[in-house]
Structure 1
Amino acid sequence: MPSPAPNWPFDIRRIPFFYGWVIWLVSTLGFLFSIPGQTMGMAVFTDALIDALGLTRTQLSMAYLIGTVGSALLLTRAGRWYDRWGGRTMTTLASLALALMLIYIAATAWLSEALGGSAPVGFILIMIGYFGVRFFGQGVLTSASRNVLLVWFEKRRGLVSSVRGIFVSLGFSLAPLGLAALILTWGWSGALMGLALACAGFAVFSYLLLRDSPASCGVLIDGATADDDTSESQTPPSTTLEDARRSPVFWIFALSLSIHALFGTAVTFHIISIFDGAGRTPEQAFAYFLPVAIAATSVNLLAGWLADSRRLKPFLVIMLGGFIMGAIGLLNLEADWGYWLLVAGFGGSGGLWSVISNLAFIRNFGPLHLGEISGLCTSIMVFASAIGPAMFSLGLDFFGTYAAAEYFCLLVLVLLLLAALVIPHRQEHLPQH
C-alpha cells in the first residue's frame, strides 16, 4: 500500500488550529476501535463460540493462549513496518486487517461445519482467528495509535496522552455492555460483522486524516511558530533496536510494564474465583472494577501532567511499589484492609503504567526507531498477558489456591523495584519548557 502524500487530500497548514489535536482524536479512536482485539472485547463472545464450535472452555482458552503468544512473536517486526511506512499507513492497514479477521471469526462456525464439524477443526479455526485479532487489534493498531501521537507533542506529551487515556478507559469499561447489547440484537456473528464494518470505516477515516509527523507536513511540533523562542525542539538522539536491547533501561521498563500485564490480566481473568476464595461474592468482584478505574484515571491524569517536566524513574519506582502494595492486599483479600489495599495499589499503579508506557521509549531512545523498540516491549507484554491466566490456573490446580502465583508475582515485583532503584537513567530526554 503506497504511502499517501503528506498533504493529501488537503494541506493541514490551511487548518486554523494545530493539527496535532486532529491526530489526538484519530489516535484515541484507534485505541477504541482496537477493542475487538482486546481481551475484554473477545471475552464477550466466549460462550457463543463454545456453543458454535463445540469446544470446551479449556479448549477455547488454549486456542486464545496460543493465538495470543503467536501474535506476540511478530510484534517487533510489525514495529519495524511502522518505522518504515509510518503511522498513517499502519493504522489503516491494521484496521482493515482487523475487519477481515472479525469477518473470518463470524464465519468460523460455518467453516467448521463445512470441514466436518470436529473439535480439532474448530480449535484450529478459532486459534487462527484469535491470532489475527490479537495481532492486528491489540498489537499493531494499539501500538500505531499510541506512537503516532507522540511525535506531534513534546512539552505536554504526558498530559495529552493522559487525557486520551481517560476516554480510552471509559470506552474499554463500557465495551462489554455495548458488545453484549449488539449480540442480543444481531446475534454473535452479526455483531462481529457490524464491528468489522465499523473497523473498515475507521480505516478510511484514518487514511484521510492521519499524518505521520509535523515535519512531513511543514509544521512544527506543539503547534509552535518560527517566531517562537521555543520553536526549536531539542529532538533526542535516536537509538537502534540493537542498542536498546543492550540497555538496562529498556529492560527495566519493559519488564515492569509486562509484570503488570501478566498480574493484572490474571486477576481480571479469574476475578470471581479469586474473590470466592477470599469469601467474597461475585457482586463484590464486579464492583471492584469501579474504584480501581476511578483511582487509575485520577492518577493517570495527575501523573501525566507532572511527568512532562520530570524524569520517569520516580514514577517507575512508585508504580512498582504500588503493585507490591496491591499484591499484599490480594494475599489478604478476606480482610477489608486487604481489599482497599488492592484497590489503591492496582488502581494507582495502573494509572502510572499508562503514563510510563506512553513516555518511556520515546524519551529514552528517540523517535526514529520508536515503532520497532516499542514493538518489542509490546511483544513481551502481550506474551506476559497470555501466560498470566494460565499460570494462576495451574497454581490453583497444583496447590488449591492462587497464593503461590501471587507470591511469585510479588517476588518479581520486589526484584524489579530493587533494579529500578539501582539502574541510572542518564539518557532520558526531558522536553524543553
Structure 2
Amino acid sequence: MQSIREKPRLSFWQIWNMSFGFLGIQFGFALQGGFMSRIFQTLGAEKDAIPLLWIAAPLTGLIIQPIVGYLSDRTWHVKFGRRRPYFLIGAILSTCALFFAPYSSALWMAAGSLWILDASINISMEPFRALVADKLPDSQRSYGFVIQTLIIGIGTWIASNLPWMMTQIGVPNTAAPGVVPDSVKFAFAIGAVVLFSSILYTILTTNEYPPEDLEAFEKEKEENKGFWNGFKEIFKNISGMPNVMKKLGVVQFFSWFAFFTMWSFATPAITEHIFKATDTTSLAYNNAADSVGNYLGTYGLISMFYALILAFITSKVKINRKLVHMLSLMAGGSGFILIYFITEPWMLHICFALVGIAWASILSMPYAMLSSSVNPKQMGVYMGIFNMFIVIPQIVAALGGINLMYKFLFGEEVIYTMVLAGTSLIVAGFANLLITDRNATHDG
C-alpha cells in the first residue's frame, strides 16, 4: 500500500543516517542478550529459572509497543517531527538502565534492570522501523530495512565482544561470589554511551515528512483524543490486521522463540557442553562466558556481511522476500542444531555464522513485507502491534515453553535448548509458504 504523495528515493547515506540510531539500540540488545543470563547466574540463578527472569521484558514490550506506535502516528512537531521525540525519550531511559544493570546485587534487581532496559529500548525501537516506512518509497523498502540490518549487525558484533575486549586490555574478568566482574561493568558503560550518542546522531541528521494534510491530521487527532479512544483504536487495528500480518505472525512466533531460547540458554548450554565449566566464580567459567559472547558476536558480524550482500542486490534488482526469508531461516536453524554435534570450540563460529544469516533476514524481510501491506497513516501502530508476534513467543518461552519442550522432545541436558532453537527456526522457514500476497513478497 503506497502513500498518495510520491516519496523521493533516498541515497545510501540518507538511509544510513536515519537508521544509525539502531547501532545503539543493538548495543543494548546485544549486551542484554549476551550477558544478562551470565549476570543472573553470577547472582545465583539456577539454569531452569533463567527464562522466567527474562519475562518482564517481553511482557512490557507487549504493552508498550502498540501504545508508542499509536502515539507516534498521532504526533507532529514542526521541529522534532513524528518519531524523533520517542527516539530521545527511549535513549535517555535506556542509557541509564544499561549503565546500572551490572551493578545489581540481587536477582530481583537484575531482573528489574532488564525490565526497565527493555521497556526503554522499546520506546525507541519501533518508531525506527516506522521511520523507514515513512521515508522510503515501496521500491526502496527492502533496501532500507537491509541497511538498518547492516547497522544492527555491526552493533551486535562489537557489543557482543566488549567484555572479551575489556579482558584483553587488563580489566578483571573475575570477582567475588555474587559480584559481576569489572569487564562486564565496563562493557555495559561503553554500551550506554554508544546507545545515547548514536540515537542522538539520527535525531540531529534526519528530518521527517509532515502529514500530507496537516489540517485533517490535527482534526482526526482531536476527534480521537483521550485514553479510552486510544485503546479502542489500538484494539480495532488488532482485530482488523491484514491477512499478510497474521501469516507473518506465525513466522515471527517460531523465529523469536528460537532467538529467545538462544539469549536465555546459550551461555549455560555452551559453557557446560563445550567448555565443561559450571562454577560461575571460576576463571574457567568467566573466560568461557567471554568466549560465548565472542561466538555470539559472529552472528552479528555475518549478519552485517549478509546484509551488505542483500543491500547490493536490493539496490539493483527486485527480490522475492519470502524465498529469501525462508532459506535464511533454515540456514540459521541448521546452525543451532550443529552446536550439539561439534567437538571443538572454534566450530561455534561456523554455527553462529549460519545463525547470522537468519538474524539478518529476521530484522529486514518481515518488516519489508509488512510495510507494503498496511495503511501508511497507521504505520507506527501496526509496527507496534507487529511486535506482539515478537514478544508473545518470548512470554511463552519464559513461562516454561523452553524447559518443557527441550526436555520432552530431546532430553535433560541443557545443550538440547540449542537443538530446540534450531528446530523452531526451521519450522519458521516453512511457515513462509503461508504468505501468498505478491505485494508483500516482492519489491514494488
Instruction: Answer yes or no: same fold by TM over 0.5.
Output: yes
1:171 and 2:155 correspond: yes
Tell me the C-alpha RMSD between the 2 structures.
Answer: 4.7
Percent of paired sites with the same residue? 12
The count of corresponding residues between Structure 1 and Structure 2 is 378
- Among 86, 89, 112, the alignment partner of 1:90 is 86
In structure 2, the CA distance between the partners of 1:261 and 1:177, relative to structure 1 (3 Å rule), is same
In structure 2, the CA distance between the partners of 1:428 and 1:127, relative to structure 1 (3 Å rule), is same
Q: 1:67 offset after TM fit, Å?
A: 1.9
- Among 21, 25, 48, the alignment partner of 1:34 is 25
Residue range with higher mean Cα deviation, 39-48 or 378-387 = 39-48
In structure 2, the CA distance between the partners of 1:47 and 1:429, relative to structure 1 (3 Å rule), is closer
Alignment of 1:205-224 (within 5 A): 205-213=201-209
- Among 432, 437, 444, the alignment partner of 1:420 is 432
- Among 7, 10, 16, the alignment partner of 1:24 is 16
What is the match of residue 57 of structure 1?
45
Q: 1:200 offset after TM fit, Å?
A: 5.4
TM-score (norm 2): 0.66
In structure 2, the CA distance between the partners of 1:299 and 1:33, relative to structure 1 (3 Å rule), is closer
Are the aligned partners of 1:244 and 1:365 in contact in 2 as well (CA < 8 Å)?
no
Alignment of 1:266-345 (within 5 A): 266-271=261-266, 273-275=268-270, 288-289=295-296, 292-293=299-300, 295-307=302-314, 309-326=318-335, 328-330=337-339, 332-333=341-342, 342-343=351-352, 345=354
CA distance in 1, matches of 2:18, 2:152: 12
User: Which stretches in structure 2 are left out of the alignment for 5+ residues?
Assistant: 1-8, 76-81, 173-180, 215-235, 277-287
Residue range with higher mean Cα deviation, 80-89 or 190-199 = 190-199
Q: 1:24 offset after TM fit, Å?
A: 2.9
Are the aligned partners of 1:36 and 1:42 in contact in 2 as well (CA < 8 Å)?
no
CA distance in 2, matches of 1:339, 1:193: 28
The secondary structure found in structure 1 opposite 2:308 is helix
Q: 1:368 offset after TM fit, Å?
A: 2.1
- What amino acid is aligned across from residue 356 of structure 2 in structure 1? G
CA distance in 2, matches of 1:190, 1:286: 15
What is the match of residue 362 of structure 1?
371
- Among 251, 260, 264, the alignment partner of 2:255 is 260
Give CA-to-partner distance per residue, 1:74-127, whole Å, 9 cap, x none: 122222222222211211221123234457758866xxxxxxxxx6xx61x443
What is the match of residue 351 of structure 1?
360
Are the aligned partners of 2:56 and 2:115 in contact in 1 as well (CA < 8 Å)?
yes
Are the aligned partners of 1:328 and 1:341 in contact in 2 as well (CA < 8 Å)?
no
- What amino acid is aligned across from residue 89 of structure 2 in structure 1? L
Q: 1:40 offset after TM fit, Å?
A: 2.2
In structure 2, the CA distance between the partners of 1:243 and 1:425, relative to structure 1 (3 Å rule), is farther
Residue range with higher mean Cα deviation, 274-283 or 257-266 = 274-283
- What amino acid is aligned across from residue 363 of structure 1 in structure 2? S
- What amino acid is aligned across from residue 424 of structure 1 in structure 2? T
What is the match of residue 13 of structure 1?
none
The secondary structure found in structure 2 opposite 1:245 is coil
Tell me which of the two structures has the higher relative contact order, counting C-alpha pairs closer than 8 angstroms and 6 or more residues apart: 2
TM-score (norm 1): 0.68
- Among 127, 130, 154, the alignment partner of 1:144 is 127
Q: 1:362 offset after TM fit, Å?
A: 0.6
- What amino acid is aligned across from residue 23 of structure 2 in structure 1? L
Give CA-to-partner distance per residue, 1:353-373, whole Å, 9 cap, x none: 233144121112243222222
What is the match of residue 8 of structure 1?
none
